[in-house]
Structure 1
Amino acid sequence: MEILEAYDLTGSYRAAADLAGVDHHTVKRYVLLRGKGSDPTRRQQRPKMIDEFMPKIEELVERSGGRIGADRVHEKITAMGFTGTDRTTRRAVAAAKASYQAGHRRVFRPWIAEPGLWMQWDWGDGPKIAGRRTWLWCAWLAWSRYRVVIPVLDKTLPTIATCLDMTLRQLGGAPTYALTDNERTVTTDHIARIPVRNRQIIEIGHHYGLTIRTCLPADPQSKGGSEATVRIAKRDLVPTEVNLRPAYQNFGELEQACTAFTTEVNGKVHRAIRRPPAQALAEERHRLHRLPEAPFTAALGTTRKVAADATISVDAVRYSVPHQLAGTTIWARFHGDELVVTAITEDGAMEATRHQRSTPGNPSIKNEHYPPRPDHDSQRVPKATSAEEAAFLALGPGAAAWLTEAATCGARRIRPKMAEAIQLAKLHGTAEVDRALGTAAIAGRFAENDLISILDHHIGRHIPEPTRASENHSLQPGTSAWSRFGVAPEGDEH
């Protein structure tokens, strides 16, 4: 601009060059470019070695729909006589693809979600727990951006029914549509690009008043919301070197992590709606359909009544379930070599436990299904049933320990000795007698007068001073007996 301004002022190439400090040929070139309407600052393209091969490159890009690679293009034009490097070819192919995409770019109509209309779900690979693979069910309510993440051990249709019921009950209702991928559990076939639905998934949708829809094959743009939910869940929940999350010891830890993740992401302000999804969900619930009282159970298996010992019988084999389910009805089904037990809780249908398939005569019982069992021998606590027993146990923990140990050893005259301890407590104090009883319990001394002896020892009675040897007194018998050694007695000639 300074060069052109100097030329406009002087009207001479050389004068403008002196003012701008450049060569007068440069002034002339800029003035001529401005006269043609061109940008003087734009760099002119010089002829390149690959220019004569550009028509062929554009043809290859067009024929492949923009999918051909630069290395393949380089092989073809090299055979045609191109002697340049593959770097030059990559630049030319990138320019040709950019031009092709500009004329074939897919234009998306912005999707304005309506409240209570759309929900999406997808699957993500979960962490391995004890060498076993897991998956993450990731659901997303489009309008409020509310997310639900549930860990599972398989992707079968009963598991989908369970996860769908748990998700809808967390949302507080059912939307009109649910969009997902074209897996076999949802779409069994495609005929003329028309998806053929699995009849069981249709029954599940009818139970909740939900219409199941699927995205176009190989078209992730049609369900980008659930894809983003999967990506975020895998980033935060699957242990990697980036998030520094430690490995999960059991499946329960993964369930707790997913619950914490769901609470956290739904409590943060979402960038698109400028408020927490949990707050938006409270407003969207008014547009959701009411859920049925009972979950969909037709796909969960056969019903079983849980016995009082928290077990069920399947094919003449007893399997344990969590003791909280005793007396309730559950659903059991086999998935491969595993028995899957599903229970109905306040939050909907949820998987209760899994067992490896067993055979008759070999019950499958898990210790974690039962509460901790007390050790009746070592943890039994005495309870008074009379005034005398209450008075004795009131002495303290030593009295309770003495009674327990004495009864275990089969000591005689326990009741009179208890009465004696009560009388001694009036004379010497409760603390001293309780201490003596505890010592007797530890030492196993339950005979007559043992308690009095221990009590006297504790309070310092009848304890003589220890005897210490000195030079004046010794226990050595002496050497006087040796003085007559070798001397014959009288009357003995020998």
Structure 2
Amino acid sequence: MEILAAFDLTGSLRAAAELVGCSHHTVAAHVAARDAGRPVGAPARRAQVTDEYLDKIEEWVEASQGKVRADKVHEKLVAAGFAGSDRSTRRAVAEVKKAYRLGHARVHRPWVTEPGLWLQYDFGDGPVVSGRSGAVKTVLFVAWLAWSRFRVVIALRDKTQPSVIAALDRTFRLLGGVPTYVLTDNEKTVTVEHIAGVPVRNRKAVSFGRHYGATVLTCEPADPASKGGVEAAVKVSKADLVPTEVNLRDDYGSFAELEQACEEFMTVVNGRPHRVTRRAPAEMLTEEQTRLHRVPIEPHTVVFGLARRVPTNTPMVAFDHGQYSVPQQLLGEQVWVRVTGVGAAERIVIVHHGRSGPVEVARHIRATPGSPQIDDDHFGGPATKQPGRYTVRPRTEAEQAFLAIGDGAHVWLAEAAASGVQRIRAKMDAAVTMAKVAGNARVDWALGHAAVNGRFGWKDLSSILNAQQSAHLQTRRATETRSLSQGTAGWAKITNQQPPAGVDGEESR
């Protein structure tokens, strides 16, 4: 700016150069840039040795979706006659990749949440805790209530379905209610498979949702950004709870210490103002609780563990390569078995769900193969303890043939997958065969009615088609006032004469 001011004062390039102490060529360049409307002092782009091959570099970066390495590009350029250095190639590839990323960047729109509507949950690798057989790796279950930003962190032994549903049940009770939707990843505990892009729900996950009155949804596969709130919550939880050199946290001596650390972490993060809302999540939760649904008094049976049937002659159940006794009054009954605790506090808990609700009937230490855990009271007296929206993308010819039937086929597939119907592919093939005989229009109509009414059995589709055909058949019946015999009105029109007296002009009785 001093150069330009000196030139405006003197009007001479050499005079301005003498005043500011630079070359008159520099003064001329700055004046020319200002007169041309270009940024003053900005370096002008010079010709590069890679300019001749820039089109090929852009083609390779586009074909590899921005993943090609510069050394591979340099090898191709040398084979094509390029005489420059690998440094020039790396500089050119970096510029092309930068332009590619700007043109293909994913734009995130802010999510405006509604109270009581969404809960997201995910898992993170927990710390290592001392166990009976050495070090045991744990799992951190992290749930995030979208509107209030309230976070729940629970330490788990594993990610099996009983553990996950037990964690969700405890989450609902900590929140004081159940939200409308529960969003998570496509774990096997929730999604069995994908058919034409439609996730087929695990039947136990469907049963869990019905019990708590919540709809379990999953995000797009390999798309963690669709549940970014809980992803960030997992990151923060691991940074504080997993011992590292950064947080200076000591190793956990027991599973109970880890559970206590999770309680303290929730108290801290939910009690301080959130960066976005400027309010404490615990304070906002009191408002959101009015929009949550009531938690059932009794938890879902999957919470109690894996189902086992007690034999009719021996009150013993098998679980995880060991055998455990139960009260003899439960012969022939179904019980649920799970593991609780880690290390010296590890126990095998057996629960029976009767008319009075769930009751813990036995608690054993872990058994080893060939050495069952037996309580003598179980074989003689009574028990001593009395505890208190998806895009359909057909990929195979069979899927294409089924979905080509019509909109009813799309609705049927979505409803059957959400209900956890078994052998869906075989029933789709049967519908395609039936459409070849009865026509696509009739079968499409029948599939739509079957989906709306929740009829997904083997014979339901043919039954609906038969009922539709019977409805079109009109049956005339004789009554006390109506006869099935032909009347004389037609003869009167032919002869232009009135019917004889005493005879009905419309029908003969």
TM-score class normalised by the smaller sequence: 0.5 to 0.7
In structure 1, the residue corresponding to 2:110 is in which secondary structure?
Answer: coil
Question: Which protein is bigger by CA-based radius of gyration?
Answer: 1
Give the 3 Å change call, closer, same or farther, for CA 145–247 of structure 1 in structure 2.
same
Give the 3 Å change call, closer, same or farther, for CA 356–277 of structure 1 in structure 2.
same
Pairing 1:265-284 to 2, within 5 Å after superposition? 265-284=269-288
Is 1:253–2:266 an aligned residue pair?
Answer: no
Alignment correspondent of 2:373: 363
Runs of 4 or more, structure 1, over 6 Å off, are none
Which amino acid letter does the alignment assign opposite residue 237 of structure 2?
Answer: A
Alignment correspondent of 1:104: 104
Which amino acid letter does the alignment assign opposite residue 188 of structure 2?
Answer: R
In structure 1, the residue corresponding to 2:136 is in which secondary structure?
Answer: coil
In structure 2, the residue corresponding to 1:138 is in which secondary structure?
Answer: strand
CA contact (8 A) 1:304 1:332 kept: no
* 2:181 paired residue among 177, 180, 195: 177
* 2:336 paired residue among 331, 339, 342: 331
Distance 2:254 2:121 in 1: 25
Q: Deviations over 1:442-474 (max 9, x none)?
A: xxxxxxxxxxxxxxxxxxxxxxxxxxxxxxxxx
Distance 1:12 1:72 in 2: 53
CA contact (8 A) 1:304 1:313 kept: no
* 2:266 paired residue among 250, 258, 262: 262
Question: Displacement, 1:200?
Answer: 1.2
Alignment correspondent of 2:41: 41
Give the 3 Å change call, closer, same or farther, for CA 340–53 of structure 1 in structure 2.
farther
Q: Deviations over 1:266-324 (max 9, x none)?
A: 1222212112211111111111111111111146344899xxxxxx9535954699xxx
CA contact (8 A) 2:324 2:364 kept: no
Pairing 1:5-20 to 2, within 5 Å after superposition? 5-20=5-20
Question: Displacement, 1:180?
Answer: 0.5
Alignment correspondent of 2:481: none
Q: Deviations over 1:215-264 (max 9, x none)?
A: 11111111111111111111111122222222222222222221222222
Distance 2:109 2:351 in 1: 44
CA contact (8 A) 1:119 1:178 kept: yes
Question: Displacement, 1:358?
Answer: 4.6
Give the 3 Å change call, closer, same or farther, for CA 77–361 of structure 1 in structure 2.
closer
Q: Deviations over 1:144-176 (max 9, x none)?
A: 111111111121111111111000100000111
Pairing 1:210-249 to 2, within 5 Å after superposition? 210-249=214-253
Question: Displacement, 1:99?
Answer: 0.8
Q: Deviations over 1:56-79 (max 9, x none)?
A: 211111111222222332332233
Pairing 1:43-192 to 2, within 5 Å after superposition? 43-129=43-129, 130-192=134-196
In structure 1, the residue corresponding to 2:246 is in which secondary structure?
Answer: coil
Q: Deviations over 1:302-360 (max 9, x none)?
A: 4899xxxxxx9535954699xxxxxxx9832599xx9852669xxx999x978545567
CA contact (8 A) 1:332 1:339 kept: no
Which amino acid letter does the alignment assign opposite residue 13 of structure 2?
Answer: Y
Question: Displacement, 1:96?
Answer: 0.8
Distance 1:354 1:174 in 2: 33
Give the 3 Å change call, closer, same or farther, for CA 97–215 of structure 1 in structure 2.
same
How many residues are matched? 348
Give the 3 Å change call, closer, same or farther, for CA 215–252 of structure 1 in structure 2.
same
Taking only the aligned residue pairs, the percentage that are identical comes to: 52
Q: What are the ranges of 5 or more consecutive residues in structure 1 without an aligned counterpart? A: 306-311, 322-328, 371-494
Question: Relative contact order (C-alpha < 8 Å, sep 6+): which is higher?
Answer: 2
Which amino acid letter does the alignment assign opposite residue 219 of structure 2?
Answer: C
Which amino acid letter does the alignment assign opposite residue 92 of structure 1?
Answer: A
Q: What are the ranges of 5 or more consecutive residues in structure 2 without an aligned counterpart? A: 328-333, 341-345, 353-357, 376-383, 385-509
Give the 3 Å change call, closer, same or farther, for CA 220–39 of structure 1 in structure 2.
same
Which stretch of the first structure deviates more once superposed, 5-14 or 157-166? 5-14
CA contact (8 A) 1:189 1:196 kept: yes
Distance 1:66 1:165 in 2: 44
In structure 1, the residue corresponding to 2:301 is in which secondary structure?
Answer: coil
TM-score by length of 2: 0.62
Question: Displacement, 1:51?
Answer: 2.5
* 2:317 paired residue among 314, 317, 324: 314
Which amino acid letter does the alignment assign opposite residue 331 of structure 1?
Answer: W
Distance 1:251 1:17 in 2: 77
CA contact (8 A) 1:319 1:355 kept: no
Question: Displacement, 1:362?
Answer: 3.4
* 1:204 paired residue among 198, 205, 208: 208
Q: Deviations over 1:357-414 (max 9, x none)?
A: 556763268xxxx9xxxxxxxxxxxxxxxxxxxxxxxxxxxxxxxxxxxxxxxxxxxx
Distance 1:74 1:343 in 2: 67
Distance 2:363 2:261 in 1: 18
Which amino acid letter does the alignment assign opposite residue 332 of structure 1?
Answer: V
Distance 2:189 2:234 in 1: 19
Distance 2:123 2:24 in 1: 69
Pairing 1:347-362 to 2, within 5 Å after superposition? 355-358=365-368, 362=372
In structure 2, the residue corresponding to 1:127 is in which secondary structure?
Answer: strand
CA contact (8 A) 2:116 2:289 kept: yes
Give the 3 Å change call, closer, same or farther, for CA 5–263 of structure 1 in structure 2.
same
CA contact (8 A) 1:162 1:349 kept: no
Is 1:195–2:203 an aligned residue pair?
Answer: no
Which amino acid letter does the alignment assign opposite residue 349 of structure 2?
Answer: V
Distance 1:68 1:355 in 2: 56
Question: Displacement, 1:17?
Answer: 2.4
Q: Deviations over 1:169-195 (max 9, x none)?
A: 000001111110111111111222222
CA contact (8 A) 2:364 2:373 kept: no
Distance 2:22 2:276 in 1: 54
Give the 3 Å change call, closer, same or farther, for CA 360–43 of structure 1 in structure 2.
closer
CA contact (8 A) 2:367 2:373 kept: no
CA contact (8 A) 2:348 2:366 kept: no
Is 1:294–2:305 an aligned residue pair?
Answer: no
CA RMSD of aligned residues (A): 3.4
CA contact (8 A) 1:303 1:330 kept: yes
